[in-house]
Amino acid sequence: MSNYLEFQFKIEPIEPGSEILIAELGYAGFESFVENEDGVTAYIQSEEYKEGVLEDIQILNSDEFEISFTSKEIEQVNWNSEWEKNFNPIIVADKCSVRAPFHEKPNTEYDIVIEPKMSFGTGHHATTHMMLQHILNNEWEGRSVLDMGCGTGVLAILAEMKGATTLDAIDIDNWCYLNTLENVERNNCKNISVYEGTAELLEGKSYDVVIANINRNILLEDIPTYSECLSKGGKLFLSGFYTEDVPVIEEACSNNGLKFENKLVEDNWTAVSFIKE
């Protein structure tokens, strides 16, 4: 089970300092951010953190901002109690609910129950919320689907509820792998296979749809693999990056035979879709 490093940054002035810092930390491999009245709390997997990575964060060396930080290691087991205290149900497009087992069941067409054991993939973050919207807005009946970087498995679960018949959910993190297994069973899904690993697992695989909500750098590295896995006319849904990153994402997709279809934007985060030509 992976541990995380938590960095608490105090920023003056907080705007636009927080937005700039989050963008730069995202490029450096940080996965999750919580904004507060003093600044930003950022998280990165311990094994992904390299000494000296913060030296390349330009805003930390800027004369326009005063930024200080502290860091500590956090065991993932702590996420459970924290998110049970703060986890609220969400409704997406009046059609899909994402809730914990201890919440009352709402009157929605699709009801997903997620045990909130970690901070990623509960539907609350803009990227997951937009990917749920993409799934609601598209046809999934009989489709084969890859959910790459599945987190809690919420996207694969909704895809199966909408009719996908063969689904692979993959995450590099053991905690995500185990949590997805639990949530797949909790939502009575029958067609989702869960794997722990990277894009190397995709060799020889073929899908009608690929979903990847990760981060900009990993997406850019793996887009060629996603394209190779997609059948002709298949769709690729990507999120985990900012609106200013869309041109470089589009270029990478275009270079790999993928045509831009549309995008959603929320809080400067973007979720885009492409079609395999």
- Known binding-site residues equal 128, 149, 171, 213
Q: Which of 93, 88, 98, 204 is nearest to 146 (CA)?
A: 204
Binding site feature residues for S-adenosyl-L-methionine = 128, 149, 171, 213
Q: Which of 211, 269, 213, 217 is nearest to 248 (CA)?
A: 217
d(CA 199, CA 142): 24
- In this structure, the number of other CB atoms found within 10 A of the CB of residue 94 comes to 10
d(CA 183, CA 156): 10
CA triple 158-122-138, angle to 5 deg: 30
Asked whether 277 and 239 are in contact (CB, 8 A), the reply is no
Residue 273, C-beta contacts closer than 8 angstroms, at least 6 positions apart: 134, 138, 235, 236, 237, 238, 260, 261, 262, 263
Burial of 8 (0-12, 13-18, 19+ CB in 10 A): middle
Asked whether 221 and 193 are in contact (CB, 8 A), the reply is no
What is the bridge-based pairing of β-strands 192-196 and 166-171?
parallel
d(CA 179, CA 142): 25
